[in-house]
Amino acid sequence: MKDSGSVKIELLTEDHQARTSEKRHPTRSPRDAASLILMDRSTSVPRALLGKRGKAHAFMPDLYVFPGGRRDPGDNRTPLAQPLRDEVASKLMQRTRSRFQSHAARGLAVAAAREMQEEAHLSLTPPDFTDGLCPDVSHFRYLARAITPPGQSRRYDTRFFACFCDELGLDPSAIQDSDELHDLTWLPIDAHDTHPLPRITRVILTDLAQALEEDPSLPFGRTVPFYYFRNGRFVRELI
């Protein structure tokens, strides 16, 4: 019997082959990006926030994704109300190039918080901080990492963070659609077939469900699955 990791790799490889069978784009270097999987655990099955990308998007149009986007240069300089946990910051530095410094790692967390605010109108800046974006990222877990394979219209090296609404005092009903994401939805993490999702999103939701089954607190220092493309197929490495 194949283990779950092997099945995930086969699904990702098949999906990539289907996407690139008709048109391949020139190989581009992946850009650093971050997504935040925000969870509501007030129900029997935890729910994750996803929204639908518009038809005009060049990357993953008409699919439901986690709020997120590329890391901007200003994200590295944005102040934090509370920093990442040491074990999370340390894990983010693993399997990176020498030019990737600690300020870039914290910038990824800022990018995830900023995109959540821009795409779902949920602010991670505490109420007593009134001077712009100053997020509390102390509850972020580093859940997964995935690099878009060659041949796609866009390529990202995405770090997926996860945290719970109640840890940040967020009201799940306060979400609002944006120009980037519409039909924002709290999707049960085991309900993969109810909405059109990218294959990698399904895989990471499966990883999340398994992690929560092992420990509902989702420990900060847990092992991180890293998905990338090598020699014609996806690889799943643990870091």
Q: Which domains does the chain have, with CATH numbers?
A: 4-238 (3.90.79.10)
Structure tokens at 44: 């029997």
pLDDT of residue 21: 47
CA distance 101 to 71: 14
Beta bridge pairs of residue 35: 68, 160
Distant-in-sequence, close-in-space partners of 108: CB < 8 Å, separation ≥ 6: 32, 33, 34, 71, 75, 92, 159, 161
pLDDT of residue 215: 96
The pTM of the full predicted model, rounded to 2 decimals, is 0.88
- In 3D space, the residue among 10, 38, 34, 185 whose CA is nearest the CA of residue 115 turns out to be 34
CA distance 223 to 7: 19
CA distance 64 to 197: 5
Q: What is the pLDDT along the chain (239 residues), one digit of tens a residue?
A: 456 666 565 555 555 554 554 556 667 789 999 999 999 999 999 999 999 987 665 566 689 999 999 999 899 999 999 999 999 999 999 998 888 888 999 999 999 999 999 999 999 999 988 778 999 999 999 999 999 988 777 899 999 999 999 999 999 999 999 999 999 999 999 988 889 999 999 999 999 999 999 999 999 999 999 999 998 888 999 99
